[in-house]
Chain A
Amino acid sequence: MASALINVPATARRGDIIEIKTLMSHIMETGFRHTVTGEAIPRNIITNFTCRYNGDEVFRADLFPAFSANPFISFFTVATESGKFEFQWIGDNGFQETASASITVT
Protein backbone atom coordinates (compact mmCIF):
# COMPACT_ATOMS: atom_id res chain seq x y z
CA MET A 1 0.00 0.00 0.00
CA ALA A 2 1.64 3.23 -1.11
CA SER A 3 -0.16 6.51 -0.58
CA ALA A 4 0.40 9.66 -2.54
CA LEU A 5 -0.72 13.12 -1.52
CA ILE A 6 -1.23 15.34 -4.55
CA ASN A 7 -2.25 18.95 -4.48
CA VAL A 8 -3.50 20.52 -7.69
CA PRO A 9 -5.97 23.43 -7.64
CA ALA A 10 -9.40 22.14 -8.71
CA THR A 11 -10.00 25.21 -10.83
CA ALA A 12 -7.84 27.88 -12.47
CA ARG A 13 -8.08 30.60 -15.09
CA ARG A 14 -6.42 30.00 -18.43
CA GLY A 15 -2.85 31.31 -18.22
CA ASP A 16 -2.61 31.10 -14.42
CA ILE A 17 0.68 29.74 -13.13
CA ILE A 18 -0.31 27.02 -10.67
CA GLU A 19 1.74 25.18 -8.06
CA ILE A 20 1.60 21.39 -7.91
CA LYS A 21 2.72 19.62 -4.74
CA THR A 22 3.35 15.89 -4.51
CA LEU A 23 4.22 13.64 -1.59
CA MET A 24 4.79 9.90 -2.12
CA SER A 25 5.18 7.37 0.66
CA HIS A 26 8.50 5.58 0.21
CA ILE A 27 11.33 4.58 2.55
CA MET A 28 14.11 5.90 0.24
CA GLU A 29 16.67 3.44 1.61
CA THR A 30 20.00 4.94 0.55
CA GLY A 31 22.01 1.77 -0.11
CA PHE A 32 24.82 3.19 2.03
CA ARG A 33 23.80 1.56 5.30
CA HIS A 34 24.82 -1.74 6.85
CA THR A 35 23.40 -4.03 9.51
CA VAL A 36 25.46 -4.78 12.64
CA THR A 37 26.65 -7.97 11.02
CA GLY A 38 28.09 -5.91 8.18
CA GLU A 39 25.60 -6.79 5.48
CA ALA A 40 24.84 -3.95 3.12
CA ILE A 41 21.19 -2.90 3.08
CA PRO A 42 20.35 -2.73 -0.62
CA ARG A 43 19.35 0.56 -2.13
CA ASN A 44 15.59 1.00 -2.48
CA ILE A 45 14.71 4.44 -3.78
CA ILE A 46 12.43 6.18 -6.23
CA THR A 47 14.62 7.11 -9.19
CA ASN A 48 12.22 8.96 -11.50
CA PHE A 49 9.15 11.12 -11.28
CA THR A 50 7.12 12.54 -14.15
CA CYS A 51 4.05 14.73 -14.47
CA ARG A 52 1.95 14.76 -17.63
CA TYR A 53 -0.76 17.31 -18.38
CA ASN A 54 -3.32 15.91 -20.82
CA GLY A 55 -0.64 13.55 -22.08
CA ASP A 56 2.23 16.04 -22.45
CA GLU A 57 5.18 15.83 -20.09
CA VAL A 58 5.43 19.11 -18.15
CA PHE A 59 7.89 18.07 -15.43
CA ARG A 60 10.39 15.28 -14.87
CA ALA A 61 12.90 14.55 -12.13
CA ASP A 62 15.74 12.11 -11.42
CA LEU A 63 16.01 11.34 -7.70
CA PHE A 64 19.09 10.20 -5.77
CA PRO A 65 19.48 8.71 -2.27
CA ALA A 66 19.87 12.25 -0.87
CA PHE A 67 16.12 12.70 -1.27
CA SER A 68 14.26 12.44 2.05
CA ALA A 69 12.01 9.50 2.86
CA ASN A 70 8.48 10.11 1.56
CA PRO A 71 9.75 12.36 -1.22
CA PHE A 72 8.14 15.77 -1.57
CA ILE A 73 8.41 17.70 -4.83
CA SER A 74 6.65 20.89 -5.84
CA PHE A 75 6.79 22.70 -9.17
CA PHE A 76 4.77 25.04 -11.38
CA THR A 77 2.87 24.81 -14.63
CA VAL A 78 0.66 27.11 -16.70
CA ALA A 79 -3.02 26.15 -16.66
CA THR A 80 -3.83 25.81 -20.36
CA GLU A 81 -6.97 23.69 -20.56
CA SER A 82 -9.28 21.54 -18.47
CA GLY A 83 -8.18 17.98 -18.10
CA LYS A 84 -6.01 15.63 -16.18
CA PHE A 85 -2.60 15.59 -14.53
CA GLU A 86 -0.98 12.18 -14.39
CA PHE A 87 1.88 11.48 -12.03
CA GLN A 88 4.23 8.54 -12.13
CA TRP A 89 6.94 7.41 -9.71
CA ILE A 90 9.39 4.69 -10.75
CA GLY A 91 12.02 3.13 -8.53
CA ASP A 92 14.14 0.19 -7.49
CA ASN A 93 12.70 -3.33 -7.20
CA GLY A 94 10.08 -2.62 -9.81
CA PHE A 95 8.43 0.14 -7.82
CA GLN A 96 5.83 1.90 -9.95
CA GLU A 97 2.97 4.05 -8.73
CA THR A 98 0.64 6.42 -10.49
CA ALA A 99 -1.82 9.03 -9.38
CA SER A 100 -3.94 11.59 -11.15
CA ALA A 101 -5.81 14.81 -10.48
CA SER A 102 -8.17 16.83 -12.62
CA ILE A 103 -8.44 20.55 -13.17
CA THR A 104 -11.13 22.77 -14.63
CA VAL A 105 -9.72 25.73 -16.54
CA THR A 106 -12.06 28.63 -17.30
Chain B
Amino acid sequence: MAESDRTTRRQFLATAGGAALGAVSLVHVGPVHATPDTMKAAIRDIVNGAAVRPGKVKLDVPPLVENGNTVPLTVTVTSPMSDADHVVSIHIFNEKNPQPNVGNFYISPRAGRAQIAMRIRLADTQTLTAIAKLSDGSFWSATADVVVTLAACTEEAT
Protein backbone atom coordinates (compact mmCIF):
# COMPACT_ATOMS: atom_id res chain seq x y z
CA MET B 1 0.00 0.00 0.00
CA ALA B 2 2.75 2.41 0.97
CA GLU B 3 4.58 1.83 -2.30
CA SER B 4 1.63 2.42 -4.61
CA ASP B 5 0.45 5.33 -2.51
CA ARG B 6 3.71 7.00 -3.24
CA THR B 7 3.39 6.66 -7.00
CA THR B 8 -0.10 8.00 -6.76
CA ARG B 9 0.94 11.04 -4.81
CA ARG B 10 3.65 11.92 -7.25
CA GLN B 11 1.35 11.60 -10.19
CA PHE B 12 -1.21 13.60 -8.36
CA LEU B 13 1.08 16.51 -7.64
CA ALA B 14 2.34 16.37 -11.19
CA THR B 15 -1.16 16.85 -12.54
CA ALA B 16 -2.46 19.25 -9.95
CA GLY B 17 -2.74 22.78 -11.20
CA GLY B 18 -3.52 21.58 -14.69
CA ALA B 19 -6.71 23.56 -14.64
CA ALA B 20 -4.76 26.78 -14.84
CA LEU B 21 -3.54 25.58 -18.21
CA GLY B 22 -7.00 25.06 -19.58
CA ALA B 23 -7.39 22.12 -21.88
CA VAL B 24 -3.81 20.86 -21.70
CA SER B 25 -3.84 17.36 -20.23
CA LEU B 26 -0.90 16.52 -18.08
CA VAL B 27 1.01 13.40 -17.32
CA HIS B 28 4.06 12.92 -15.18
CA VAL B 29 7.09 11.60 -16.98
CA GLY B 30 10.12 10.08 -15.29
CA PRO B 31 10.94 9.51 -11.65
CA VAL B 32 12.58 12.90 -11.02
CA HIS B 33 12.38 13.54 -7.30
CA ALA B 34 14.49 14.35 -4.30
CA THR B 35 15.64 11.55 -2.04
CA PRO B 36 16.84 11.60 1.55
CA ASP B 37 20.36 11.66 0.01
CA THR B 38 19.76 14.69 -2.21
CA MET B 39 18.23 16.41 0.81
CA LYS B 40 21.40 15.69 2.77
CA ALA B 41 23.46 17.12 -0.08
CA ALA B 42 21.30 20.27 -0.16
CA ILE B 43 21.76 20.66 3.59
CA ARG B 44 25.54 20.25 3.22
CA ASP B 45 25.53 23.11 0.70
CA ILE B 46 23.99 25.41 3.28
CA VAL B 47 25.90 24.40 6.42
CA ASN B 48 29.24 23.99 4.65
CA GLY B 49 30.61 21.24 6.85
CA ALA B 50 29.46 22.70 10.17
CA ALA B 51 27.73 20.47 12.72
CA VAL B 52 23.93 20.71 12.84
CA ARG B 53 22.53 20.16 16.31
CA PRO B 54 18.92 19.28 17.10
CA GLY B 55 17.18 21.93 19.22
CA LYS B 56 16.10 25.58 19.40
CA VAL B 57 14.00 25.14 16.23
CA LYS B 58 10.28 24.32 16.23
CA LEU B 59 8.68 23.09 13.00
CA ASP B 60 4.87 23.20 13.07
CA VAL B 61 3.09 21.39 10.31
CA PRO B 62 -0.18 19.43 10.52
CA PRO B 63 0.66 15.74 11.01
CA LEU B 64 -2.07 14.80 8.55
CA VAL B 65 -2.76 17.16 5.65
CA GLU B 66 -5.92 17.23 3.55
CA ASN B 67 -4.22 18.23 0.34
CA GLY B 68 -0.54 18.20 -0.53
CA ASN B 69 -0.89 21.29 -2.71
CA THR B 70 -1.16 23.70 0.18
CA VAL B 71 0.39 22.66 3.47
CA PRO B 72 0.70 25.37 6.12
CA LEU B 73 4.06 25.40 7.87
CA THR B 74 5.50 27.56 10.66
CA VAL B 75 9.09 27.66 11.89
CA THR B 76 9.93 29.26 15.22
CA VAL B 77 13.46 29.57 16.59
CA THR B 78 14.12 30.26 20.26
CA SER B 79 16.41 33.28 20.24
CA PRO B 80 16.68 36.63 22.08
CA MET B 81 17.05 38.26 18.62
CA SER B 82 19.55 40.75 20.04
CA ASP B 83 22.46 42.27 18.14
CA ALA B 84 24.81 39.86 19.89
CA ASP B 85 22.66 36.73 19.62
CA HIS B 86 20.17 36.26 16.82
CA VAL B 87 19.00 34.10 13.95
CA VAL B 88 20.61 34.94 10.61
CA SER B 89 18.72 32.56 8.34
CA ILE B 90 16.21 29.70 8.25
CA HIS B 91 16.27 26.95 5.62
CA ILE B 92 13.59 24.37 4.90
CA PHE B 93 14.14 21.05 3.12
CA ASN B 94 12.05 18.07 2.09
CA GLU B 95 12.87 14.51 1.09
CA LYS B 96 10.45 13.63 -1.64
CA ASN B 97 9.43 16.59 -3.72
CA PRO B 98 11.15 16.86 -7.08
CA GLN B 99 13.72 19.15 -5.46
CA PRO B 100 15.06 19.10 -1.88
CA ASN B 101 14.82 22.86 -1.18
CA VAL B 102 11.62 24.55 -0.06
CA GLY B 103 12.88 28.01 0.89
CA ASN B 104 15.65 30.11 2.43
CA PHE B 105 14.74 33.02 4.69
CA TYR B 106 17.08 35.78 5.82
CA ILE B 107 16.27 37.79 8.93
CA SER B 108 18.05 40.11 11.37
CA PRO B 109 17.69 41.37 14.94
CA ARG B 110 15.11 43.78 13.51
CA ALA B 111 12.70 40.85 13.19
CA GLY B 112 12.19 40.85 16.96
CA ARG B 113 10.84 37.33 16.73
CA ALA B 114 12.40 34.48 14.74
CA GLN B 115 9.20 33.07 13.30
CA ILE B 116 8.09 32.57 9.72
CA ALA B 117 5.04 30.93 8.17
CA MET B 118 4.28 29.81 4.63
CA ARG B 119 2.34 27.27 2.54
CA ILE B 120 4.15 24.54 0.68
CA ARG B 121 3.55 21.59 -1.64
CA LEU B 122 4.25 18.07 -0.51
CA ALA B 123 4.20 15.38 -3.18
CA ASP B 124 4.07 12.61 -0.62
CA THR B 125 4.11 11.49 2.97
CA GLN B 126 7.60 12.46 4.17
CA THR B 127 9.91 14.11 6.67
CA LEU B 128 10.65 17.84 6.57
CA THR B 129 13.73 19.50 8.05
CA ALA B 130 14.19 23.11 9.15
CA ILE B 131 17.65 24.47 9.91
CA ALA B 132 18.47 27.80 11.56
CA LYS B 133 21.82 29.57 11.35
CA LEU B 134 22.61 31.73 14.38
CA SER B 135 24.84 34.79 14.57
CA ASP B 136 27.60 32.75 16.28
CA GLY B 137 27.77 30.52 13.20
CA SER B 138 26.08 27.51 14.80
CA PHE B 139 23.33 25.50 13.08
CA TRP B 140 20.24 24.04 14.78
CA SER B 141 17.51 21.89 13.37
CA ALA B 142 14.11 20.24 13.78
CA THR B 143 12.26 17.64 11.73
CA ALA B 144 8.57 16.83 11.31
CA ASP B 145 6.74 13.92 9.71
CA VAL B 146 3.75 14.68 7.51
CA VAL B 147 1.15 12.27 6.18
CA VAL B 148 -0.47 13.47 2.95
CA THR B 149 -3.93 12.11 2.09
CA LEU B 150 -5.54 12.03 -1.32
CA ALA B 151 -8.38 14.32 -2.33
CA ALA B 152 -11.60 12.67 -3.50
CA CYS B 153 -13.60 13.57 -6.61
CA THR B 154 -10.88 15.42 -8.48
CA GLU B 155 -10.71 16.17 -12.17
CA GLU B 156 -8.72 13.05 -13.00
CA ALA B 157 -11.17 10.69 -14.63
CA THR B 158 -9.35 7.54 -13.55
Contacts and interface: CB of A to CB of B under 8 A. Distances in A.
* A/B touching: CB–CB < 8 A: yes
Interface of A: 17, 27, 29-30, 32-36, 38, 41, 53, 56, 58-69, 71-78, 80
Given A69-B69, A78-B111, A27 B98 contact: no
Given A33-B28, A34-B28, A35-B26, A64 B102 contact: yes
Given A27-B20, A33-B14, A66-B94, A60 B106 contact: yes
Nearest to A40: B29
B4 to A, nearest CB: 20
Interface in B1-35: 14-15, 17-18, 20-21, 24-29, 32
Contacts of B143: none
17 contacts: A17-B112, A27-B17, A33-B15, A34-B14, A34-B27, A36-B26, A59-B106, A61-B104, A65-B99, A66-B94, A66-B99, A66-B103, A67-B121, A69-B69, A74-B117, A76-B111, A76-B114
